[in-house]
Amino acid sequence: MQISKINLKNNPNLTFIANFLKPYTQRAYLVGGSVRDMLLGLELFDYDIEIYDINIKDFDSVMQKLGAKGFGKNFFVYKFRNFDMALARTENKISYGHKGFEVKICNDEKLGAKRRDFTINALMINIFSGEFLDFYNGLQDLKQGILRHINDQSFQEDSLRILRAIVFASRFNFKIADETLNLMRNMDIKDLSQDRINAELYKFFQTSYLNLGYKYLQELDLEKEIFGFKGDFESLEFQNLLKEARKIIKDEALFLYLYLNFFKLNKEVFFKKTRLKKEYLKKANQAFYLNDIDDFELAKIAFDMPLKEWLGLWDEKRVEQAKKLKLYENKFESKIVTQDLIDAGFFGKALGEKLQELKENELKEYIKLNKNT
């Protein structure tokens, strides 16, 4: 199906911006991720608008008038509500690093779209007329679930795009086109700072198809570089675990929890190397059982949290088991009073051990009783 127009009328903020820009230009386009996500039927949070036919000086005053805030010094980019607005531009790599680009204003939509990473991210919708522009067959790739780069040279100039490809593949369950994968194999991410890498990793951790992203990380030989460790590429066991567990556990710490525990990595060393958020370390330290877990071990985890919060509750069998124990929604509430033990003369290590022993006995009783009811 060929799309030639898209109705944008049901977005009041967009209508407001279109009305505001109308006296200055007839060429302003919704671009990038917002068009892609709209066509995928996803909820939109941020919008990018690319504007033509206004010069830099006038653009600045038009944006001031709108009350938009400028950012990114050379890029003529302004923010208004959840809209990023920028003059159309071309980018030319002139020096090392992700900021080493010469930026020039551009007057041609096809050229403006050429600097973009993937065909699915180069779609444009005119915000006044609804006209749909697709210079690089992005719609077809979107329908077929393919991530394809637009231009060899500009793609290679931006190593962040390797990680972006992995994130998109993993988010949408998309395949990276062979020609793009081949190009990526000849690139490296050495010029990226750890912060930049981590920003993409945080996006990856939120995706639905972690197994696919992980497969690409391995295929592109990035696992060692990013995590300092290399899992067994031949083994599908971990990929299957990622896939199955993700269907149940939505928490963004799931990947690291499974990765660090499955491969038995030293978590402190890992977090020191990657400098990823410490809150993930806490979650990665939750109990981990690869195989079946008995009622007592499972119930013990509920000393600390309701089992629905446990990252290891990754299959239906465990969910059922937790529900049967009535520890799915609520954690186990012990009736043991620590003060009683202190009054009885326990302190320090002995106090901790006694407390644990009594709580475990109490839990065993609870399981027995619960089974009979």
User: Least separation, in Å, of the C-beta of 199 and ligand CTP?
Assistant: 10
Looking at the DSSP bridge assignments, the partners of residue 149 are 118
User: Least separation, in Å, of the C-beta of 48 and ligand CTP?
Assistant: 5
Give the residue with the Cβ less far from ligand CTP, 164 or 175. 164
**Across the beta sheet with 28-31, what order do the strands follow?**
69-71, 77-80, 83-87, 47-51, 28-31, 124-126, 132-133
Q: For ligand CTP, which residue has the nearest CB?
A: 33
Q: At CB < 8 A and 24+ separation, what contacts does 17-22 make?
A: 17/49, 17/66, 17/80, 17/83, 17/85, 17/127, 18/127, 18/128, 20/66, 21/51, 21/62, 21/127, 21/128, 22/128
Label residue 102 exposed, middle or buried (CB < 10 Å: 0-12, 13-18, 19+): exposed
48 touches ligand CTP (CB under 6 A): yes
User: Least separation, in Å, of the C-beta of 184 and ligand CTP?
Assistant: 13
Give the residue with the Cβ less far from ligand CTP, 203 or 246. 203
User: Least separation, in Å, of the C-beta of 330 and ligand CTP?
Assistant: 36
Q: First vs last Cα of the chain: how many Å apart?
A: 60
Give the residue with the Cβ less far from ligand CTP, 160 or 341. 160
Stretch that binds ligand CTP, among 157-165, 185-193, 254-262, 267-275 (CB under 6 A): 157-165
213 touches ligand CTP (CB under 6 A): no
Q: How far apart are CA 168 and CA 216, in angstroms?
A: 11
Q: How far apart are CA 148 and CA 164, in angstroms?
A: 12
Amino acid at 49: I
User: Least separation, in Å, of the C-beta of 125 and ligand CTP?
Assistant: 13
Give the residue with the Cβ less far from ligand CTP, 203 or 300. 203
Element (H, E) at 9: none
Residue 91 burial (CB count, 10 A) = 17
User: Least separation, in Å, of the C-beta of 19 and ligand CTP?
Assistant: 24
160 touches ligand CTP (CB under 6 A): yes
Binding residue for ligand CTP (CB under 6 A) from 121, 126, 180, 211? 121
User: Least separation, in Å, of the C-beta of 34 and ligand CTP?
Assistant: 7
Give the residue with the Cβ less far from ligand CTP, 116 or 318. 116
158 touches ligand CTP (CB under 6 A): yes
Give the residue with the Cβ less far from ligand CTP, 157 or 223. 157
Please give the size of the binding site for ligand CTP, defined by CB under 6 A: 11
- Provide the CB-side half-sphere exposure for 342 (13 A, CA): 4
Stretch that binds ligand CTP, among 67-75, 113-121, 132-140, 213-221 (CB under 6 A): 113-121
DSSP 333: -
What are the angstrom distances between the C-alpha of 28 and each of 18, 234, 353? 8, 49, 69
Torsion, Cα of 251, 252, 256, 261 (10° steps): 0
Stretch that binds ligand CTP, among 158-166, 186-194, 248-256, 316-324 (CB under 6 A): 158-166
161 touches ligand CTP (CB under 6 A): yes
Question: Of 123, 126, 125, which is closest to residue 143 (Cα–Cα)?
Answer: 123
User: Least separation, in Å, of the C-beta of 205 and ligand CTP?
Assistant: 13
32 touches ligand CTP (CB under 6 A): yes
Q: How far apart are CA 342 and CA 360, in angstroms?
A: 18
Q: How far apart are CA 367 and CA 290, in angstroms?
A: 22
Give the residue with the Cβ less far from ligand CTP, 32 or 231. 32
User: Least separation, in Å, of the C-beta of 190 and ligand CTP?
Assistant: 16
Binding residue for ligand CTP (CB under 6 A) from 17, 28, 33, 241? 33
Q: How far apart are CA 181 and CA 117, in angstroms?
A: 13
Q: How far apart are CA 346 and CA 338, in angstroms?
A: 9
Binding residue for ligand CTP (CB under 6 A) from 109, 117, 134, 141? 117
Which spans of this chain sit near ligand CTP (rule: CB under 6 A)? 32-33, 48, 116-117, 121, 158, 160-161, 164, 203
